[in-house]
A and B are shown apart, each in its own frame.
Chain A
Amino acid sequence: MQRTPIREPGTTDMDAAQPNTETGDDILVRIRDMHFSRGERRIFDGVDLDIRRGKVTAIMGPSGTGKTTLLRLIGGQLAPDRGSVRVDGLEVPRLGRAELYRLRRRMGMLFQSGALLTDLNVFDNVAFPLREHTDLPEAMIRDLVLIKLQAVGLRGARDLSPAELSGGMARRVAMARAIALDPMMIMYDEPFTGQDPISMGALVTLIRRLNDALGLTSIIVSHDVQETASISDHVYVISEGRVVAGGTPDEIERSDSAWVQQFMRGLPDGPVPFHYPAPDYRQDLLDGAQEPRP
Chain B
Amino acid sequence: MIDWLRSLGRDGIAVFEKIGRGNLFLLRTLAGLPEVLGRPRLLLAQLYSVGVLSLLIILVSGLFVGMVLGLQGYNTLVQFKAEESLGVVVSLSLVRELGPVVTALLFAGRAGSALTAEIGLMKATEQLSGMEMMAVDPIHRVVAPRFLAGVLSMPLLAAIFSAVGVYGGWFVGVGLLGVDDGAYWSQMQAKVDLYDDIWNGVIKSMVFGLVVTWIAVFEGYDAVPTSEGVGRATTRTVVHGALAVLGLDFILTALMFGD
Contacts and interface: CB of A to CB of B under 8 A. Distances in A.
A113 interface: yes
A81 to B, nearest CB: 19
Interface of B: 122, 125-127, 129-137, 141
B134 A77 contact: no
A177 B130 CA distance: 10
A133 B135 contact: yes
A262 B12 CA distance: 47
Interface in A88-126: 97, 101-102, 104-105, 107-109, 111-113, 115-118
5 contacts: A104-B133, A111-B129, A128-B134, A128-B136, A132-B134
Contacts, number: 49
A127 to B, nearest CB: 12
A117 B142 CA distance: 11
A102 B135 contact: yes
Interface in A250-264: none
A104 B126 contact: no
Smallest CB-CB A-B distances: 6 pairs: A115-B130, A104-B135, A115-B126, A101-B135, A109-B133, A105-B135
B134 A129 contact: yes
A133 B141 CA distance: 12
Given A77-B129, A105-B135, 15 more contacts: A77-B133, A101-B137, A104-B132, A104-B133, A109-B130, A112-B126, A113-B126, A115-B126, A115-B127, A116-B130, A117-B127, A118-B125, A128-B136, A129-B134, A132-B135
A75 interface: yes
Contacts of B127: 115-118
A260 to B, nearest CB: 30
Contacts of A116: 127, 130
Contacts of B129: 77, 111, 115
Where chain A touches its partner, the secondary structure class is mixed
Where chain B touches its partner, the secondary structure class is helix
Interface of A: 75, 77, 97, 101-102, 104-105, 107-109, 111-113, 115-118, 128-129, 132-133, 174, 177
Nearest to B142: A117
A66 to B, nearest CB: 16
A111 B126 contact: yes
A115 B125 contact: yes
Nearest to A177: B134
A169 B122 CA distance: 20
Contacts of B136: 128-129, 132
Contacts of B122: 118
Contacts of A108: 133
Contacts of A109: 130, 133
Contacts of A111: 126, 129-130
B149 to A, nearest CB: 15
A77 B134 CA distance: 12
Contacts of A117: 127, 130-131
A101 B140 CA distance: 13
A108 B131 CA distance: 11
A118 B136 CA distance: 16
A107 B133 contact: yes
Contacts of A133: 135
A102 B136 CA distance: 10
Contact of B134 (A97, A102, A104): A104
B189 to A, nearest CB: 46
Nearest to B126: A115
A97 B31 CA distance: 14
A112 B133 CA distance: 14
A118 B128 CA distance: 11
A87 to B, nearest CB: 13
Q: Which of B130, B131, B132, B136 has the most CB of A within 10 A?
A: B130
Contacts of B137: 97, 101
Contacts of A128: 134, 136
A102 B126 CA distance: 21
A97 B32 CA distance: 14
A77 B122 CA distance: 17
Contacts of B133: 75, 77, 104, 107-109
A129 B133 CA distance: 10
A128 B136 CA distance: 10
A6 B133 CA distance: 18
A115 B125 CA distance: 6
A115 B122 CA distance: 9
A243 B132 CA distance: 28
Contacts of A113: 125-126
A112 B124 CA distance: 12
B138 to A, nearest CB: 11
A199 B237 CA distance: 41
B33 to A, nearest CB: 17
